[in-house]
A = this chain, B = another copy of it.
């Protein structure tokens, strides 16, 4: 960055809107607006396009549970076939299962009296309301139903890695909007290193208490290790921080880092948190390559992702 001319070479242009614009036209019209997060969003779109077009790249898609509580679940499910592996948290399984069983989540509000909600047996997840019968009970029933079916099948193995178990669930779920279902149909493994942390995990615990069932987390780790060593080129779209982000970049360090990385977050870096860390910090660790194409987009996934996926036609 020593060439002034070059630094000042791409000029900000005033945006002009017009009637009936498509999402693609709108985004393209913003390519030179020099917007703050908008510029990163457009970089993210371009990096994702390159990553998904790179046939040699093994591409991860990571996300936490809250996204799956929203209607982005359907959009995420539809997009899974474009990725090679999913990394997520237990809550994703809970919401996916509850919804696949017919559980209804409702549009709510952040500004409510949670005591009153408690008295009405309504759970609040941000500005989403969930009747308690639409969630915990739904997960319990559907889990038990499917798990018993797995147990009774002639292929039952007594020991499962999370990805193997989730594949068996995907095989049996019928809802086409389900993430587990789409992952199964498209042969995309779902890794879930913190699988015990939620309703699905608690159900596994309960099931294991009176059935011959073991959970083998290390097996998935070996698979992830193999992915890291087998793929010279890797990429990741990471929604939100926490364990689903960290576990993607963690394993990618062993191959010298991700080649493509797009991270969308609302977290700040000043507190030293993994969630707040920009991807550039991951470069110092070798979790993202120095020459990688990467960008961190600050903002709410529910606003940004639909624009990105619509532009990229990830459905």
- A residues sitting closer than 8 Å to B (CB atoms) are 1-2, 4, 7-24, 26, 29-30, 32-41, 64-66, 69-75, 77-78, 89, 91, 99, 104-108, 110-118, 120-129, 131, 177, 193-194, 196-198, 201-202, 204-205, 208-209, 215, 217-218, 220-222, 225, 240-243, 246-247, 250, 266-278, 280-281, 283-286, 290, 298-304, 306-307, 309-310, 313-315
Structural contact, A273 and B266, CB atoms closer than 8 A: yes
Structural contact, B131 and A8, CB atoms closer than 8 A: yes
Residue of chain B at shortest CB distance from A73: B14
- Extra pairs beyond A8-B129, A126-B281 (20, CB < 8 Å): A14-B77, A15-B71, A15-B75, A20-B22, A35-B70, A36-B70, A38-B306, A64-B273, A65-B274, A114-B283, A115-B283, A125-B281, A126-B271, A197-B243, A202-B225, A205-B218, A209-B222, A241-B275, A266-B267, A268-B298
Structural contact, A8 and B122, CB atoms closer than 8 A: yes
Q: Hey, which chain B residues are within 8 Å of A209, CB to CB?
A: 222
Q: Hey, which chain B residues are within 8 Å of A75, CB to CB?
A: 14-17
Structural contact, A16 and B315, CB atoms closer than 8 A: yes
Structural contact, A78 and B117, CB atoms closer than 8 A: no
The distance from the CB of A162 to the nearest CB of chain B, in whole angstroms, is 10
Q: Hey, which chain B residues are within 8 Å of A221, CB to CB?
A: 196, 201-202, 205
7 residue pairs from A and B, CB less than 8 Å apart:
A7-B106, A18-B315, A32-B71, A36-B270, A64-B274, A240-B273, A243-B243
The listed residue (B74, B218, B267) touching A16 by CB distance below 8 A is: B74
Structural contact, B12 and A71, CB atoms closer than 8 A: yes
The listed residue (B20, B114, B275) touching A242 by CB distance below 8 A is: B275
The listed residue (B32, B39, B114, B271) touching A266 by CB distance below 8 A is: B271
Q: Hey, which chain B residues are within 8 Å of A246, CB to CB?
A: 91, 197-198
The listed residue (B1, B40, B123, B286) touching A113 by CB distance below 8 A is: B1
The distance from the CB of A138 to the nearest CB of chain B, in whole angstroms, is 14
Q: What's the Cα separation between A32 and B26 when bound, in Å?
A: 22
Q: What's the Cα separation between A12 and B70 when bound, in Å?
A: 7
Structural contact, A37 and B302, CB atoms closer than 8 A: yes
Q: What's the Cα separation between A72 and B108 when bound, in Å?
A: 32
